[in-house]
Chain A
């Protein structure tokens, strides 16, 4: 079974530039999550999708971050414009369902450095 795929693995940009990350979840997984993990901290949920609908985006900085999952499969997360404090690893995860006891499978992450 293929795991959660993410690209790119690494990205370096200057502040005020824009960047996009891509995630392809495990086949058949209805729920997709984007997390931001700053060095030394636990993952922080940015947005949760159930199929192509948003379940929770309460912690997404909507003035600069956006995400979509148009066909209910893969997803993109965009930052525009980037700030220095956006430097972090962006993790994508998926589960079969959004039920509380569903195991999340994480992708390898995208390490973003904003200079």
Chain B
């Protein structure tokens, strides 16, 4: 089983701060990663996809992939209370999901 590990949190940040979510993976063959957001009681929705080393930015979200360290992260700038959710990291093969990190943005 190809493992994807995340800290379950909860991670609490004040409104307007940067939230940093991290994920490590065991399969060196993994070439790309997805970040999904899941609100309580809802299904996961894709927010970012990254396949190359370095950073990928989309609005307030930045995904970072470091294949040498087998590490992928998601930064959320100017965090809003509406960002409060569980963030799931996933490797493509059968979308092997981490357990998710719960983020709470406090007003």
Contact = CB atoms under 8 A, between A and B. Distances in A.
Say which size band chain B's interface belongs to. Answer: 20 to 34
A101 B94 contact: no
Given A100-B31, A100-B32, A45 B44 contact: no
B99 A42 contact: yes
A103 interface: yes
A101 B32 contact: yes
Interface in A9-42: 33, 40-42
B68 interface: no
Given A101-B49, A101-B51, A108 B43 contact: yes
Say which size band chain A's interface belongs to. Answer: 10 to 19
Give the most central of A41, A42, A44, A106: most B CB within 10 Å.
Answer: A42
B43 A42 contact: no
Contacts of B100: 41-42
Interface in A56-115: 56, 91, 93, 100-101, 103-104, 106-109
Given A106-B43, A107-B43, A108-B43, A42 B32 contact: no
A51 interface: no
B73 interface: no
Nearest to A4: B43
A67 to B, nearest CB: 14
Interface in B32-83: 32, 34, 42-46, 49, 51
Interface of A: 33, 40-45, 48, 56, 91, 93, 100-101, 103-104, 106-109
Interface of B: 4, 6, 8, 31-32, 34, 42-46, 49, 51, 88, 90, 92-100
Given A100-B31, A101-B92, 8 more contacts: A43-B95, A48-B94, A100-B32, A100-B92, A103-B34, A103-B49, A108-B43, A109-B43
